[in-house]
Amino acid sequence: MYSFSSPLEMTMETLIKILDYSSDEIFVLDGDRQIIYVNNACEKHYGLKKSEVLGRYSVELFEKGYWKPSIVPEVYEKKKPLSIKQTTNIGAELLTTAIPILNDQGEIDLVVTTARELQHYKLLKAKEDSYTQVSLPHDPSEVGVITNCETMKQILKFAQKIAVTNSTILIHGESGTGKGVLAHFIHEISKRKEGPFLTINCAAIPADLLESELFGYTSGSFTGANRSGKMGLFEVANNGTLFLDEIGEMSLALQAKLLQVIQDKKFIPVGGQKEKEVNIRIIAATNRNLMEMVQEKKFREDLFYRLNVIDIEMPPLRERKEDIVLLAYHFLYKFNRMYDVNKLISQECLDVLTYYSWPGNIRQLENLIERLVITSEDVIDVQDLPEILYQNAQESSEREKPASLTEAIERVKKDLIRKSFKLHGSSRKVAKDLQISQTHAAKLIRTYCQDLKKEST
């Protein structure tokens, strides 16, 4: 505990410590709009550590979508205090106030910005029985794909390139990695965004019903059918996108009919005789190895190549460690709003989440955060976590601790070269990416990427 006989005894170190313990975000810009101070609250609002914020210009972070709208331009223009409502990249709603500090010439020396989560005000008003309805933040799907991971950023860049085409897309990845979110993202930035985006899980519907769901049926096609018939998803999704999740579970007979729709953009409803024409884009996803299924005669080879015109591999969450805290805060905001609470999460708990292997990926993390928001006290702590998760995280942490500095350097070198080679595929591009000679890059690729070279051949 700190005690001061006079204000002069408060050191800069003590003052910084006090500011860092503030639940409100404190953000200080200089006259050039460069960030010269920010406290620890920036991590829960944007998923960025202080070291990733300090020294950068506010416009740079705004343009990368960390918050919207920006309060800075108007404050520097009017040189007067201003308050606005902001939404961050991970869904936090903030009431932000910026106060300019002027010098003797009337020019801005500093701008001190504070940001408080609107959830605080909402709960306070509820407790005082004078609650006023505030507008809900954007739906999480409108926030966009949430990531700080370089691999994911490259995937999103690639998605933007292919979104303008009508080619079929096959998204590979473990369950819960966000394949559906990526498919929706592609639709939303495509020329089809004004049309429908429909999803069907091929594993969730019995094979005999899946055909009528996709193709629709005419009156009296089968027992129990609607007397007036029913439009199928191919027809409903006309001028839009149809997302076929778990495509590997589709029967061979239905695969043949799907192939015809992809090739000809035409189909005949179940029980019908008249051909219908549609304008749709097909995006499919699977967590299975379709090439192996082709070899085992469980998946049609011609359909595989039709779907695989463009393929995207979604990384599991355990390979996106830099996104775990970001996503945890995103889901925390989501469920705080849903259940009208204001739970916090401890740093120790976030550390455990970071080391856990996440076999269920993002979906598992989302479900866990919802459970913790419902069952924990005001601050979610390590003891609130399921025991198996904590034990797994401890084991992972111990495995990841290097035995020596040499081992640590070797691990970083291997990780960098493998990521770069996966991305670029040639020693020349790897050399340029890592700023080393091509000879050195080729040597490192031979040492660390033999398995990747085999996969690409």
Domain segments of the chain as ranges: 7-127, 150-313, 317-400, 405-456
Phi/psi-derived region of residue 297, left when phi > 0, alpha when psi is between -120 and 50, beta in every other case: left
137: confidence class by pLDDT, cuts 50, 70, 90: very low
Pick from 244, 240, 140, 264: nearest CA to 190: 240
What's the CATH fold of domain 7-127? Beta-Lactamase (3.30.450)
Better-scored residue on pLDDT, 97 or 10 = 97
Count the alpha carbons within 13 Å of 412 in the hemisphere toward its beta carbon: 9
317-400 under CATH 1.10.10.10, yes or no: no
Cα 117–350–326 angle (5° rounding)?
A: 55
Q: Which residues contact 60 (CB under 8 A, 6 or more apart)?
A: none
Better-scored residue on pLDDT, 46 or 191 = 191
Pick from 104, 114, 111, 57: nearest CA to 79: 111
pLDDT of residue 201: 95
130: confidence class by pLDDT, cuts 50, 70, 90: very low
d(CA 313, CA 54): 34
d(CA 11, CA 327): 36
150-313 under CATH 1.10.3720.10, yes or no: no
Q: pLDDT tens digits for 300-342?
A: 999 999 999 999 999 999 999 989 988 998 899 889 989 988 8
pLDDT of residue 172: 96
Looking at residue 219, its amino acid is S
Instruction: Give the pLDDT mean for 59-71.
Output: 87
d(CA 52, CA 56): 8
